Amino acid sequence: MNSPLLELKGLCSTVFSEDTDQQIPILKGVDLTIHTGEIHVLMGVNGSGKSSLAHVLMGHPNHQITEGEARFHGKPIQDMESDERARAGMFLAFQYPHTIGGLPVGTFLKAAVEARRSEEVPFRVFKRELDAALDKLGISKEFLGRSLNEGFSGGEKKRNEILQMHLLKPTLAMLDETDSGLDVDALKKVFHDVREYANEDNALLVITHYDRVLDYINPTHVHIMRDGRIVKSGGAELSKRIDEEGFEAVLGVEASV
């Protein structure tokens, strides 16, 4: 088998709490290996550390790795700044996308594409790619003139994250509850597009609470997180069991946080 795209061994982290001015332990030994060509789904009760894991991997400044190993393309991510990780092919579609008043979506996307490629992209070239992505995702051009996420509906924010993914073409796309806020038709369309994006040269890490998402993306691996660790891994059948029986029954422990 080819070398892993992402390899986590005993990864521990803390988050800085601005309320208490303290570092709070969150990840408590995450082991996870992702190869290209794979689609991983991460499930788990609220507060188990799923979003934190994604933030740690992207290099969010409030999250610190305290122990363990995290390698992307074989390189320790601790040695890489956030923007370097993005340039190397990591992408996170946020659970709660940020709003930036006064920054038009089109301007933001062009800057993001140029940052990812470390070069200026002529407007003509960018426009061609953008038009193709808008067409594919069924997003109106009017969207581009609006301030980033300002006044966007929940579903529009999520679709904007997926538009970014299509333009940035990451090798590891992490989607944090992209399904939440989407109506049933949008869910089907967005995850059909996500599935089409996946190929032998990239990998997905999809965080979700809902088994129905798995019907669209057909994952190769499903993991369950609890209290800062991945405590169970399997195939799509694992999410069916969670959906039918709940975390408590499947994990054999109390699932409440």
Ligand X SMILES: Nc1ncnc2c1ncn2[C@@H]1O[C@H](COP(=O)(O)OP(=O)(O)OP(=O)(O)O)[C@@H](O)[C@H]1O
One-letter amino acid identity for 12? C
167 or 230: whose CB is closer to ligand X? 230
Which option in Mg ion, ligand X, none does residue 49 bind, with CB closer than 5 to 8 A by kind?
ligand X
> Least distance to ligand X from the beta carbon of 256, Å?
12
Of 103, 111, 109, 93, which Cα lies nearest the Cα of 57? 93
Which option in ligand X, Mg ion, none does residue 17 bind, with CB closer than 5 to 8 A by kind?
ligand X
Q: Which residue has the tokens 């290099």?
A: 59
Of 243, 163, 173, which Cα lies nearest the Cα of 207? 173
CA distances (Å), 146 to each of 100, 101, 108, 150, in order? 10, 9, 11, 7
Q: Is residue 243 exposed (0-12), middle (13-18) or buried (19+ Cβ within 10 Å)?
A: middle
Residues engaged in binding ligand X (CB under 6 A): 15, 17, 24, 26, 44, 46-52, 62, 95
Residue 51 as a binder of Mg ion (CB under 5 A): the answer is yes
46 or 199: whose CB is closer to Mg ion? 46
146 or 209: whose CB is closer to Mg ion? 209
Residue 52 as a binder of Mg ion (CB under 5 A): the answer is no
Residue 48 as a binder of Mg ion (CB under 5 A): the answer is no
Which option in ligand X, Mg ion, none does residue 157 bind, with CB closer than 5 to 8 A by kind?
none
Q: Could you tell me if 207 and 224 are in contact, meaning their C-beta atoms sit under 8 angstroms apart?
A: no
> Least distance to Mg ion from the beta carbon of 95, Å?
5
52 or 239: whose CB is closer to ligand X? 52
Of 83, 94, 77, which Cα lies nearest the Cα of 13? 77
Q: Is residue 90 exposed (0-12), middle (13-18) or buried (19+ Cβ within 10 Å)?
A: buried
Gap between the Cα atoms of 55 and 61, Å rounded: 9
- Which span sits near Mg ion by CB under 5 A: 23-31, 43-51, 160-168, 224-232? 43-51
Which option in Mg ion, ligand X, none does residue 52 bind, with CB closer than 5 to 8 A by kind?
ligand X
Q: Which residue has the tokens 């924010």?
A: 157
In the structure encoding, which two tokens stand for residue 179, read together? 């399904």
4 or 59: whose CB is closer to Mg ion? 59
* Per-residue x/- track, 89-128, Mg ion (CB under 5 A): ------x---------------------------------
Q: By the criterion CB under 5 A, which residues form the site for Mg ion?
A: 50-51, 95
